[in-house]
Amino acid sequence: MRKIQIFDTTLRDGEQAPGAAMTIEQKYEFALQLARLGVDIIEAGFPVSSPHQFEASKRIAENVKGPVIAGLARSVEKDIDAVYESIKGAETTRLHTFIATSPIHMEYKLKMTPDQVVENAVKAVSYARNKFAQVEFSPEDGTRSELDFLYRIIEAVIDAGATVINVPDTVGYTMPDEIGHIFSSIMNNVPNIDKAILSTHNHNDLGMAVANTLAAINNGAGQAEVSLNGIGERAGNAALEELVMALNVRKDLHEIDTNIDAKQLFYTSKMLSTIIASPIPRNKPITGANAFAHESGIHQHGMLSNRETYEIMTPESVGREASEIVLGRHSGLHGFTKRIKELGLALSDEQIGTAFKVFLSLADRKKEVFDEDILQIAGSVLGKKSHFYDLDYFNVTSGNAAIPTATVRIKVKDEASEEAATGDGPISAIYQAIDKATGITGKLEEYHVNAVTSGKQAIGEVSVVVLIDGKQYNGKGSSTDILKASARAYIGALNRFKLSVENAGG
């Protein structure tokens, strides 16, 4: 089985996406995770572009072991020298240099003739070949370049010392059959192509980046340039996680392997999302919240019988937890019954039937029915209380020169319990006080804030996951006051815990 190299450009091309800038420390920490993920080459940055880029590349090169460390440079000596000085401390170094080769770029951007472009490229590669262990050359906008000119410049730079030839679809214009033809033509028409690794780098402007990468690999590319979550210029790059799983799942078709540890994919994707504060779209393949979620009753029934009916890979294979049965208006009795049992609720078949009718009525009014709703439905069927704790009052004192302190009054049945506590911040203080008032100790595992409306008086929605007695409980709260929303969300999780305990006995 042929193995291809994974060249990760999250820290270079990926960081060029608007809003994706990272600190030096963040780039370093993410580079360490890329090494754990198993990428073969890390493109650490564009060192000549700023002191920040230089220092980040230098820190990564000196401290991240395993992958080849690459730096980007235009085909000019100043850029090449900057890359050398920044990454010379790496175990293995690679210069990635480029110059545009398409007619439109040469005429309007470079204002150079084809002969001048070839001369410039050869000069840059010749200058670099004794400074770096590896030299990669990219004909920018390569897929919109004339094939005969591509053959010419590729042959020339290989003769000059290039060890990797990367042909980028810089503007995401090419279709899979076209890029397949380009790569097979290069393999068949460049006499010395066997002396270099052919690489592909595809942008996603028309949604073809991963498909184009696969087409290039199947036609001779031995390296794929990708980024986590597909971030990058404009619509981004081919997504590393999507490419890797396409190759893993369809080994029967491609017979190609990588060094990537697929079980690290979900964590790495979430880590990047947190660093750049860019949520992963729910419907994103592999790492999106809906990728292994099923709401349709037909799908749920199939999944409960045999997960392979509707899943072509397991969530565990990419480092995720088990598949999720999402309950909504499209769900059926099988999915509802399974969730009732998972929540530890002791309902008879008749009671489940009654609860399911109430559930369907509620599902018609809500996009999604949560565990708390199911617990309340079950409580009503069993004739038990469905709500235990209510927030009556809270007050917080905080500041950069004060210890955050919170006082809360919680209604417990017909009585009120008032407690005060301190914390690392105002929300921590509120949660500590709620624990004391309810007598329940919860550990906050996840905390998310979303704006439900816009403007200065926007309503914020807080979602939490709280660990109590070894089990996770979700809670949600909303308010124009984010502290109040946070308190409501936490109390919601405690209510869900209490309902689960009360209802478990039937």
Provide mean pLDDT across the span 430-435: 96
Confidence of residue 506 (pLDDT cuts 50, 70, 90): very low
Name the one residue in this structure whose structure tokens are 């595992």: 445
Provide mean pLDDT across the span 303-316: 72
Q: How far apart are CA 134 and CA 498, in angstroms?
A: 61
At residue 326, the pLDDT reads 60
Provide mean pLDDT across the span 159-168: 98
Confidence of residue 453 (pLDDT cuts 50, 70, 90): low
Comparing CA positions, the residue from 221, 275, 337, 277 lying closest to residue 34 is 275
Average pLDDT, the chain: 89
CB 200 within 8 A of CB 217: yes
Where is average pLDDT lowest: 28-42, 223-237, 300-314, 394-408?
Answer: 300-314
Tens of pLDDT, residues 462-494: 888 899 998 888 888 878 889 998 999 999 889
Q: How far apart are CA 139 and CA 360, in angstroms?
A: 58
**List of domains in the chain:** 2-275 (3.20.20.70), 293-377 (no CATH), 389-504 (3.30.160.270)
Look at residue 383 and tell me whether its pLDDT is greater than 90: no
Report in angstroms the alpha-carbon separations of 409 from 84, 309, 485: 62, 50, 15
CB 193 within 8 A of CB 186: yes
Comparing CA positions, the residue from 453, 454, 473, 450 lying closest to residue 462 is 450
Of all residues in the chain, the percent with pLDDT exceeding 90 is 63
Higher pLDDT, 425 or 291: 425
Structure tokens at 243: 């490419």
Tens of pLDDT, residues 320-332: 776 555 666 667 7
Of all residues in the chain, the percent with pLDDT exceeding 70 is 88
How far, rounded to the nearest angstrom, does the alpha carbon of residue 77 sit from its chain's CA centroid? Answer: 36
The DSSP symbol for 130 reads T
- pTM tops 0.85: no
Cα-atom radius of gyration of the chain, to the nearest Å?
A: 28
Look at residue 416 and tell me whether its pLDDT is greater than 70: yes
Q: How far apart are CA 473 and CA 467, in angstroms?
A: 6
The per-residue DSSP string of 309-325 comes to: GT-SS-GGGGT--S-EE
Q: Where are the alpha helices (DSSP H) in 74-199?
A: 77-87, 103-105, 114-128, 147-160, 176-189
At residue 51, the pLDDT reads 95
Comparing CA positions, the residue from 136, 185, 152, 193 lying closest to residue 12 is 136
Provide mean pLDDT across the span 240-245: 98
CB 404 within 8 A of CB 429: yes
CB 160 within 8 A of CB 129: yes
Q: How far apart are CA 209 and CA 214, in angstroms?
A: 9
At residue 296, the pLDDT reads 55
